[in-house]
Amino acid sequence: MAAQAVDVMTNALRIDSMSKRFGERVALAGVSFSLRPGEFVGLLGPSGAGKSTLFRCVAGLERADSGGALLGEQTLGSGHGSGNGGGRIAMVFQQFALVDRLSALDNVLAGRLGAVPAWRGVLRRFSREDRMFAMHCLERVSMLDHAEQRADRLSGGQKQRVAIARALAQKPDVILADEPIASLDPTLAGGILALLRSIASVDNVAVICSLHQLSFAREYSDRVIGIRAGKIVLDCDASGVDDEAAERLYERVTTG
């Protein structure tokens, strides 16, 4: 891999000792890692370990208490909405988060909102170039035939493909996928992960994807990060994750 000569400049995203607490409960306790362009990273950890909080803080949906994020060479602001580097960080959600009453194409065009004047968003009038690009994004997720369908008429797998097309339409440097397959049956799940993986390598985007199944993480990731009680406890090549490491990651916390 060309990115083997690791250097700060080659990182797509660097997180530096990010911490977040909700009242008494510590959700993130100084999390640091970096993602290289084109890398697909699986994020593992038991429920409540802080995976979603991490994503929400990086995407700017939540404000981290301390620590910073570096997108390429740009420091990300903190606070709602301002933290996602002008759309260069795209997010994919477990429950798809599409606008039900809009067509698939209009949902994908939402990915362009960060880059177009407000009036275009309000009136849903996009330039031909943006519309063409959105259609192309739909083609890349094999949803061209469903461009006109209202989002609520699509099946779960189709919805997630449209959501991925929306992320693509942002022309992102980083895609955060928060349990993108947890609402899908296993046969569809593999297709979604393969799609995200191919996007990572073809578009040279860093993809970090939280997962619950170790087998999927091993099969599709380049690297696996394990998080537990708000701390990173595992960070290695996907091939290096053995059952023992996984067991330690998911081991019951008996102190509680």
Residue ranges binding another protein (CB under 8 A): 105, 129, 131-133, 135-140, 144-145, 147-148, 168, 171, 203-204
Q: How far is the CB of 37 from another protein (least distance, A)?
A: 11
Size of the chain in residues = 256
Locate all alpha helices (DSSP H) within the chain, ordered by sequence. Answer: 51-58, 104-109, 118-123, 128-140, 156-169, 186-203, 214-220, 243-250
Q: Is the dihedral of CA 179, 184, 185, 189 positive or negative?
A: negative
Q: How far is the CB of 129 from another protein (least distance, A)?
A: 6
Report how far residue 256's alpha carbon sits from residue 253's, in angstroms, rounded to the nearest whole number: 7
- Closest to another protein by CB, 165 vs 241, is 165
Report how far residue 253's alpha carbon sits from residue 249's, in angstroms, rounded to the nearest whole number: 10
- Closest to another protein by CB, 65 vs 203, is 203
- Closest to another protein by CB, 129 vs 243, is 129
CB–CB of 125/80 below 8 Å? no
Q: How far is the CB of 133 from another protein (least distance, A)?
A: 4
- Closest to another protein by CB, 57 vs 151, is 151
Q: How far is the CB of 203 from another protein (least distance, A)?
A: 6
Q: Which two tokens stand for residue 134?
A: 């959105």
| Helix, strand and coil in the chain, % to nearest 5 | 40, 25, 35
- Closest to another protein by CB, 21 vs 131, is 131
**Which distant-in-sequence residues (6+ apart) come within 8 Å of 161 by Cβ?**
141, 142, 143, 192, 195
- Closest to another protein by CB, 182 vs 194, is 194
Q: How far is the CB of 42 from another protein (least distance, A)?
A: 24
Q: How far is the CB of 179 from another protein (least distance, A)?
A: 26
Q: Which helix (H) or strand (E) holds 57?
A: helix 51-58
